[in-house]
């Protein structure tokens, strides 16, 4: 069996294509169930966000697995396969597993190291698991990826540094004022950057926000999203009397705050500290404002310097996470290899216990006067002999699964104990009539060894 990842992301796919292939949250459960009915698809998880749509599957064959995922996409979105095939990125087995670890850790995001994707992966996995379209392989893989991402963020602090100007502005304010919860913040402008600033301010615990804009309706629309106050630019002097922090991002072509205006406001404020972040281009605040006592002015170049330093720190952390992913890949591969011997171990145990049961029947026929207690003692001790005898062979077969010659060694082991037919029978029981293996029933089969076990 094989793990395959098929998807679109922001790096290679235009926005209009990504939008066309976005699964709605309301129908995601229906989508994973429909995908599970496709031939060759044994398990699946669909991750769909504004920046990516990625489908992860466990398939019995690479070629058919790739084809039926693409056919599913074509049918679900009613788009001919040839119209979107050039945008698809496909990864298989180790490459697909590594990509999942990177996505979940934020290493493949537009904002390096962001944590939102971790929650999105977790939610997607939970949908698939609740719809029973995952099995042992994805239950283990996705749990490992989610746990790993949490540990990587904690150990490296990759998400601790601001890498957007609006976020950097808020972080800078926190460094100067400490706790922002009691501060009054005025946002000049009602565009995208202003909205991002408002989000980051609320995340920092700010309750008092006033949105100021030339258009009162635009100011009110943005303020309504955050439970803030709204006012027009004509009242800016009055608003700033009660303001501790100003974040300005308008589309004005001339300065909104001049030195004379801010000096007059500071007289009314009795010189209380005023922190101004101007992230507009052209600038909203005259550069000479920074010469006023107790006025701290930062422009977009100041913030970009902070962002660049923080991005360098995130990239260094990402390098560390890459190394951790390599270790995690080794652990997962070892786990997969160990899975391959489970049907072998099961067959060995079943054969040994059958011999023990037949022996007990023979003893009871030859010694019909045994009491119930004596039978119980004999049964317990003969099973104990079986378990002790099997302990070392089971240990050895697990080690064989991790060796370079595991296929030949495993075949020799099955022949040695004459259990090859028993393993075949176990695999056959776990197969559907059409040759697919049910998600709930292929729990004990490792995809690297499946072809070997079923071809002998």
Q: What is the pLDDT of residues 53-97, one digit of tens each?
A: 999 999 988 999 999 999 999 999 999 999 999 999 999 999 999
- Computed on alpha carbons and rounded to an integer, the radius of gyration of the chain in Å comes to 32
For the chain, counts of helices (H) and of strands (E): 18, 10
Token pair belonging to 48: 């769909």
Q: What is the pLDDT of residue 123?
A: 95
| DSSP 8-state code for residue 205 | T
Q: What is the pLDDT of residue 439?
A: 40
DSSP H/E element including 210: strand 208-213
Alpha-helix residue ranges (DSSP H) falling in 284-371: 300-339, 342-366
Backbone angles phi, psi at 112, to 5 degrees: -55, 125
Q: What is the pLDDT of residues 175-203, one digit of tens each?
A: 888 889 999 999 999 988 899 889 889 88
Number of residues in the chain? 456
Provide the annotated active-site residues. Answer: 50
Instruction: Tell me the pTM.
Output: 0.64
Pairing of strands 89-92, 2-9: antiparallel
Report how far apart, in Å, the C-alpha atoms of 94 and of each of 41, 251, 311, 327, 456 are: 18, 48, 28, 13, 26
**CB 313, CB 161: distance < 8 Å:** yes
Q: What is the pLDDT of residue 326?
A: 92
Q: What is the pLDDT of residue 4?
A: 97
Q: What is the pLDDT of residue 443?
A: 36
Vertex 152: Cα angle to 151 and 155 (nearest 5)? 80
Rounded Cα distance, 153 and 156, in Å:
5
Query: Which residues in the chain come in under a pLDDT of 70?
Result: 161-163, 340, 402, 427-428, 430-456
Rounded Cα distance, 56 and 319, in Å:
25
Instruction: Give the residue from 116, 111, 158 showing the smallest Cα distance to 316.
Output: 158
């Amino acid at each position: 069996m094989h793990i395959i990842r098929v998807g679109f992301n922001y790096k290679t796919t235009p926005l209009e294509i990504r939008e066309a292939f976005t699964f709605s949250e309301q129908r995601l459960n229906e989508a994973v169930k429909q995908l599970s009915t496709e031939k060759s698809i044994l398990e699946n998880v669909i991750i769909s966000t504004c920046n990516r749509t990625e489908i992860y599957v466990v398939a019995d064959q690479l070629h058919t697995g790739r084809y039926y995922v693409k056919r599913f996409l074509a049918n679900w979105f009613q788009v001919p396969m040839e119209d979107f095939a050039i945008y698809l990125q496909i990864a298989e087995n180790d490459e697909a597993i590594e990509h999942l670890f990177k996505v979940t850790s934020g290493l493949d995001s537009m904002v390096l190291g962001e944590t939102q994707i971790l929650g999105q992966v977790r939610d997607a996995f939970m949908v698939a698991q609740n719809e029973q379209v995952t099995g042992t392989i994805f239950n283990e893989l996705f749990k490992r990826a989610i746990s790993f991402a949490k540990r990587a963020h904690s150990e490296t602090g990759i998400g601790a540094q601001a890498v957007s100007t609006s976020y950097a502005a808020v972080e800078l304010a926190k460094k100067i004022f400490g706790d922002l919860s009691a501060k009054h913040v005025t946002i000049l402008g009602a565009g995208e950057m202003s909205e991002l600033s408002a989000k980051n301010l609320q995340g920092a615990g700010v309750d008092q926000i006033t949105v100021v804009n030339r258009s009162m309706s635009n100011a009110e629309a943005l303020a309504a999203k955050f439970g803030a106050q709204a006012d027009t630019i004509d009242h800016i002097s009055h608003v700033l009397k009660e303001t501790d922090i100003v974040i300005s991002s308008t589309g004005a072509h001339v300065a909104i705050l001049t030195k004379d205006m801010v000096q007059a406001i500071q007289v009314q404020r009795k010189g209380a500290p005023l922190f101004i972040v101007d992230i507009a281009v052209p600038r909203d605040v005259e550069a000479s404002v920074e010469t006023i006592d107790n006025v701290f002015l930062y422009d977009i170049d100041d913030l970009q310097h902070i962002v660049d330093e923080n991005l360098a720190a995130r990239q260094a952390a990402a390098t560390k996470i890459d190394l951790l992913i390599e270790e995690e890949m080794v652990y997962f591969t070892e786990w997969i290899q160990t899975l391959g011997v489970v049907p072998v171990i099961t067959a060995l145990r079943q054969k040994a216990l059958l011999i023990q049961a037949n022996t007990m029947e023979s003893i009871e026929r030859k010694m019909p006067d045994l009491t119930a207690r004596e039978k119980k003692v004999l049964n317990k001790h003969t099973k104990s002999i079986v378990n002790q005898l099997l302990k070392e062979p089971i240990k050895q077969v697990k080690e064989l699964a991790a060796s370079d010659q595991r296929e030949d060694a495993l075949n020799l082991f099955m022949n040695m104990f004459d259990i090859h037919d028993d393993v075949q029978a176990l695999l056959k029981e776990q197969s559907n009539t059409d040759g697919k293996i049910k998600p709930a029933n292929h729990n004990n089969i490792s995809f690297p060894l499946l072809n070997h076990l079923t071809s002998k």
